[in-house]
Amino acid sequence: MTAPMTTPTAAAAPPARPGLAPRLSALTRIVELGPGRLDNKLLTEAGTLLQRAGDRLKLSSEHTVVALAGGTGSGKSSLFNAVSGLELSPTGVRRPTTGRTHACVWGLDGAAPLLDWLKVEGRHRFSRASALDKGDGQLHGLILLDLPDHDSIRALTDTEADRLIGQADLVVWVLDPQKYADASTHRRYVTELAGHEAVTVFALNQADRLTAEELAELVIDLNDLLRREGVEHPTVVPTSAITGRGIESLKSVIAGAVSRRRAAIQKLDADLHRLEQRVAKAMPVGDALNAPSTVDEARRMGLTDALCDAVGVPAVGEAMENVYAERSNQWVGWPYPRWIAKLRPDPLKTLRLDDVGDEIRGISTTTVSAQSAEVANAVQSLADGLSTGMHPVWRTAVHQAARSRMSQLPKALTDELSDLAPRLDHVPGWWRLLKIWQYVLVAAFVAGLAWLAVGVFMPGQVPDALRVLGDTAALPWVGLMLVAVLGLGALSGIASRNFVELGASKERERLEREMRRRVASVAGTMVVEPVERELARHHGFYTALRDLSP
């Protein structure tokens, strides 16, 4: 009975994925945007993978690096010698171990820089150029490595094995019948091989120690074990370095990878896919790309409104409107009520509005200082709205960005508004004209009263030149004129008050509009800009993560 063997063509081709270059660019963006957001271990691994990919892609694409990896006593070095056809790597007798990496190269042209990158010592490099005449032309471009035993107790060799397993284009795991299910091997390496089927081969070595039935059972058991650990389509080749069994099958598998010249790309692609899965597990894309990447106009206006309330813009505007109306009493309105009002205490002094500019500055400054909690609430509300649905790490980052200048924000608002004193000494031109008009009416009323007095009390006693003043027939008309003047003055006063209220409203709007503009400017610089940088970082990170996905 012959032992079953997974054929060289049985390894399933990986699903079609975006090109390697765009995915490496996406990973670069993740590394750039991830610090402080993504786990440092993942970032370190991503940086290492980028470095390894950059180095490998610059080196010979005509060579395929195949590493024989395995534990102590697996017969790895014997298998290396059997594949190479030479006694290149020493094999142990009492305690077989491999301490240094050995390399056998089929085709030396262009291989030296690659071997330098692999850090294979010159005295451990061997060439099989002459083997091309012996039927091994199918292996031209192969760099076969015999790695140090991965379970060596020496930290130096253990590190070297791990490094080269990561750098190799294709890894042949050499397992022996007694330790093929060794927990350390599976825990440290095999469980990480999901998605690497195209660049991983399992050689069940020392098959000569087993009967055909035992070998068949072991192959089936190993396949089942590998599938349970995530290797969906394992390539298992039973081999024996002593009898030569399976050596040609193993060489055929290796030759297929060498001839396709795709193993390096496939290995990097698989490494990218594995890392992408880990990053996506840590930070699932989900609906992350639906999160805003900028602060929309509605939220900007909402923040400005909240900050305006916090600094008391409505209160300052109302004070300005009241002051405007009170000041207008000195210029507009029917003079007689104003003169009568002077007999009472001055309302300006009663209201302490002699220096209203300082009063309004005080309102602004005091409000900002006293209501800094409202400023914090406004900023918090903005961050809450923008970070809804984000991963907790990014949500925290958005809040931190929003609060990054919180300690300076109240003072910045105070300083920005403190020099915005209303133009209290400004007298509109129409106020002056109306005052002149009112005094003309006062003069007309006084003249009318004088005429009426002369006509009533001094009839016939006026000079001929002023005879009309003594004409009693004109007195009704004079009385009518006085009533008209009084009515016209009253109407002028009423109209002027309406115009004053309209002007006060416009001044209030002008002041509040300018204050809102300044508040919005401060909010944009100290709150919105840091938040938008974080939102752009969040969007860029998840866009890169999406582009990294297959």
* Residue 342 and residue 473 share a domain: yes
Question: Partners of 125 in the beta sheet?
Answer: 103
CA distance 505 to 321: 6
* Residue 532 and residue 397 share a domain: yes
**Contact indicator for 271, 44 with CB cutoff of 8 Å:** no
CB count in 10 Å sphere of residue 417: 26
Q: List, in order, residues 6 or more apart from 247 with CB less than 8 Å away.
A: 79, 82, 83, 239, 240, 241
**pTM of the predicted protein model:** 0.74
Q: List, in order, residues 6 or more apart from 154 with CB less than 8 Å away.
A: 99
SS3 labels along 156-219: HHHHHHHHHHHHCCEEEEEECCCCCCCHHHHHHCHHHCCCCHHHEEEEECCHHHCCHHHHHHHH
Domains in the chain: how many in total? 2
* Residue 348 and residue 234 share a domain: no
| Residue 51 belongs to a domain | yes
**Contact indicator for 261, 141 with CB cutoff of 8 Å:** yes
CA distance 505 to 160: 81
* Residue 340 and residue 358 share a domain: yes
**Contact indicator for 304, 209 with CB cutoff of 8 Å:** no
| Residue 199 belongs to a domain | yes
* Residue 350 and residue 263 share a domain: no
* Residue 266 and residue 316 share a domain: no
**Contact indicator for 149, 69 with CB cutoff of 8 Å:** no
- Helix, strand or coil for residue 102? strand
Which of 315, 418, 321, 424 is closest to 362 using CA atoms?
Answer: 418
**Contact indicator for 165, 189 with CB cutoff of 8 Å:** yes
Count, residues in the chain: 550
Exposure string for 69-108, b = 16+ CB within 10 A, e = fewer: bbbbbbbbbbbbbbbbeeebbebeeeebbbebbbbbbbbe
* Residue 296 and residue 276 share a domain: no
- What pLDDT was estimated at residue 510? 81
* Residue 337 and residue 201 share a domain: no
**Contact indicator for 122, 110 with CB cutoff of 8 Å:** no
| Residue 520 belongs to a domain | yes
**Contact indicator for 402, 523 with CB cutoff of 8 Å:** no
| Residue 183 belongs to a domain | yes
Q: What is the largest CA-CA distance in the chain?
A: 160
**Contact indicator for 195, 81 with CB cutoff of 8 Å:** no
* Residue 272 and residue 324 share a domain: no
Which of 375, 247, 264 is closest to 311 using CA atoms?
Answer: 375
Domain boundary (222, 251, 282) is at 282
Question: Partners of 127 in the beta sheet?
Answer: 105
| Residue 3 belongs to a domain | no
Look up the domain containing 383 and give its range. 290-548
| Residue 1 belongs to a domain | no
CA distance 315 to 321: 10
Which of 461, 481, 485, 480 is closest to 471 using CA atoms?
Answer: 461
CATH code of the domain containing 201: 3.40.50.300
CA distance 485 to 2: 130
Amino acid at 410: P
| Residue 74 belongs to a domain | yes
* Residue 372 and residue 230 share a domain: no
Going residue by residue through the chain, which has 550 residues, state the pLDDT in tens, using 9 for 90 and above.
Answer: 344 444 444 344 444 455 899 999 999 999 999 999 999 999 999 999 999 999 999 999 999 999 998 888 888 888 998 998 877 655 544 444 556 889 999 988 889 999 999 999 988 898 876 544 455 678 999 999 999 876 654 444 458 888 999 999 999 999 888 877 665 666 667 777 777 888 999 999 888 888 889 889 989 998 988 888 888 889 999 999 888 899 999 999 999 999 999 999 999 999 999 999 999 999 999 889 999 999 999 999 999 999 888 887 877 777 776 666 666 666 676 676 666 666 666 554 554 545 544 554 444 444 444 377 888 899 999 999 999 989 999 999 999 999 999 888 888 888 887 776 565 566 677 667 777 777 787 777 777 777 666 666 666 555 554 555 555 566 677 678 777 777 777 777 777 777 777 777 777 788 888 888 999 999 999 999 999 999 999 999 999 999 998 6
| Residue 301 belongs to a domain | yes
Q: Which residue bears the tokens 């009472």?
A: 344
**Contact indicator for 420, 518 with CB cutoff of 8 Å:** yes
Domain boundary (241, 256, 282) is at 282
Domain boundary (230, 251, 282) is at 282
Packing angle between helix 356-370 and helix 409-418, nearest 10 degrees? 170
The tokens for 385 are 């709205």
**Contact indicator for 291, 390 with CB cutoff of 8 Å:** yes
* Residue 308 and residue 246 share a domain: no
Which of 155, 157, 151 is closest to 188 using CA atoms?
Answer: 151
The tokens for 142 are 């192969």
* Residue 235 and residue 378 share a domain: no
